[in-house]
Structure 1
Amino acid sequence: MKDNFSTHSSAYAKFRPTYPQKLYEFLQAKLTDTETAWDCGTGNGQVAGELAEFFQKVKATDISKQQLKNAVKKNNIQYSLQGAEKTNFQDNTFDLITVAQAIHWFNFKDFYKEAKRVLKPNGIIAVIGYSLFNTTPETDEVIRKFYNDIIGPFWDEERRYLDEKYKNIPFPFHEIETPEFQQEYQWSFEHLIGYLETWSAVKHHEKETGENPVNLIKNELKTAFGSQNKIVFPILFRLGKFKD
């Protein structure tokens, strides 16, 4: 599992989008029990923090010490530095496993084997994420040119799973049908820039060339976006139970 986010963990916590409350409500309604959840690849703990509102205990893991250092703190969340594919959790521990904007970095086969080991027989696994946002047509044009042409060569291969909206990831579970969700914001131009600078391909570009590629589009982007505008993130959401 790659760690692309330790070096900018505080920015990640500040600028990354969250998930809509209706998604958590839908998830809660599908659960048999709410004793213990595992948020795998928790990052800044945003999902763990929401799960803690309706679970007795939440175990949250990540491979980044810096991410965990900046994570949401609640009394019923226990963080630990662990990979996704091998943990110290007991068999049949969890009513729910969540993976948010992280599963594309995992070894699918090993993670699913571990997930099936620690998930209770009636437990649920939820794979959550978001793909490229939409905003004004003029801004979308600038962003897509940036995404594909300027930093396109610097994306990790695993990024394609997000571009494919998680439809092509392995998912060896009985799938539960889910509604479509999206998350809308009014973002300032400064917030948009902060978010773009958390992209892994931006960091790869900067490391290789010594130049922040966001600066290459900043003026054009400001003209297209303005000082504030609407941002819409399509939410990716797959839900499953054990196959017998």
Structure 2
Amino acid sequence: MIPLDRFSGHANLYAQYRIDYPPDLYNYLLSFVTERRAAWDCATGNGQVADVLANSFDQVDATDISETQLILAAKKPNIRYQLSQAEQTPFANQTFDLITVAQALHWFTIDAFHQEVRRVAKPGAILAEWGYGLVKLGSDLDAVLLDFYRNRVGPYWDPQRVHIDTSYANLPFPFADVQHNQFTIHRNWTLDRFLNYLRTWSAVRQYIHENEEDPVTDFGEQLKAHWGEGEREIRFPVFFRLGRVMDEPVQ
């Protein structure tokens, strides 16, 4: 199966306007990792997770199927970027102490990816998979945003998007010592900043491609009266799961 690349065409926009993750998520994750020699950030995108992991690991390998994304990714001496599918990588057996996937698992062939994780992970290594759902704007705007999400651009989401809406609950995770957690990303954004974030949505990019118009422009006009001229606090709900990679899958 040819992997889906939904982000090369707007990699610069993605690098500027996608969100990063809160320190408490990384603190929680790293509390489970004893050896910190090598980490793999799979589907690294703009390298934001790899950039943070590089502060704690001797070496970070970060892979993606988008060469354009990798060119724009954060650079550090101990981060090595490579073009690679999630399900088949160039790494040696039993290489990594930690493997991470942020907001990308739903694009993978899950069983094949987890098989590759077992091959390249050291015994007892940690696998962490997480993502974030629909942003919360506040009681006065959440219903308006939900209508845009479901109805205006809803038909343009790939089928895999359902796994974000269900917080990966229906995706297998056959690992040991499984932990689940939730985090919240708080941001204070202007309306313009928020609209540019919406333009990174794969459904918005597909809408623009098929209709040759930007649905975010009209939506922004709807929001103006409520948003005001300054910044508004918004929240992104993050779902998170973590497990330990043992010799055999957990049934």
Q: TM-score, normalised by structure 1?
A: 0.97
Task: Give the alignment of 1:1-244 within 5 angstroms.
Answer: 1-227=3-229, 228-243=231-246, 244=248
Give how far 1:175 is off: 4.2
Structure 2 distance, partners of 1:101, 1:177, is 18
Contact map agreement 2:158 2:203 (CA 8 A) in 1: yes
Query: How much does 1:125 deviate?
Result: 0.2
Letter matched to residue 184 of structure 2: Q
1:238 partner amino acid:
R
Distance 2:75 2:245 in 1: 31
CA distance in 1, matches of 2:237, 2:42: 21
Residue type at the aligned position of 1:130: Y
Deviates more, 1:170-179 or 1:23-32: 170-179
For 2:32, give the aligned amino acid: K
2-side partners of 1:61 and 1:242: how far apart?
20
- The one-letter code matched in structure 2 to 1:234 is P
Alpha-carbon separation, structure 2, partners of 1:58 and 1:90: 14
For the residue of structure 2 that corresponds to 1:239, the secondary structure is strand
The worse-fitting range, judged by mean Cα deviation, of 135-144 and 13-22 is: 135-144
Structure 1 unmatched ranges of 5 or more? none
Q: CA RMSD in A?
A: 1.0
Alpha-carbon distance in 2 for matches of 1:117, 1:90: 8
Shift of 1:178: 3.7
The amino acid across from 2:86 in the alignment is A
Structure 1 stretches of 4+ with a deviation exceeding 4 A read: none
Paired AA for residue 84 in structure 2: Q
8 Å Cα contact 2:181/2:239 also seen in 1: no
* Corresponding residue pairs, total: 244
SS at match of 2:31: helix
Q: Aligned partners of 1:223 and 1:154: how far apart in 2?
A: 27
Q: Secondary structure at the match of 2:63?
A: strand
Task: Provide the C-alpha distance between the structure 2 equivalents of 1:180 and 1:102, rounded to a whole number of angstroms.
Answer: 17
More deviation, 228-237/136-145:
136-145
Q: Go from structure 1 to structure 2 and tell me whether the alpha carbon gap of 1:224 and 1:141 turns closer, same or farther (over 3 Å shift).
A: farther
User: 1: distance between equivalents of 2:177 and 2:157?
Assistant: 29
Kindly state the Cα deviation for residue 222 of structure 1 after the two structures are TM-superposed: 1.4
User: 1:175 touches 1:238 (CA, 8 Å); kept in 2?
Assistant: no
Q: How many Å apart are 1:170 and its aligned residue? A: 1.2
Uncovered stretches (5+) of structure 2, i.e. residues with no partner: none
Checking the alignment, whether the CA contact within 8 Å between 1:136 and 1:225 is kept in structure 2 is no
Structure 1 letter corresponding to 2:72: N
CA distance in 2, matches of 1:242, 1:50: 22
How far apart in 2 are the matches of 1:128 and 1:175?
A: 16
TM normalised by structure 2 equals 0.95
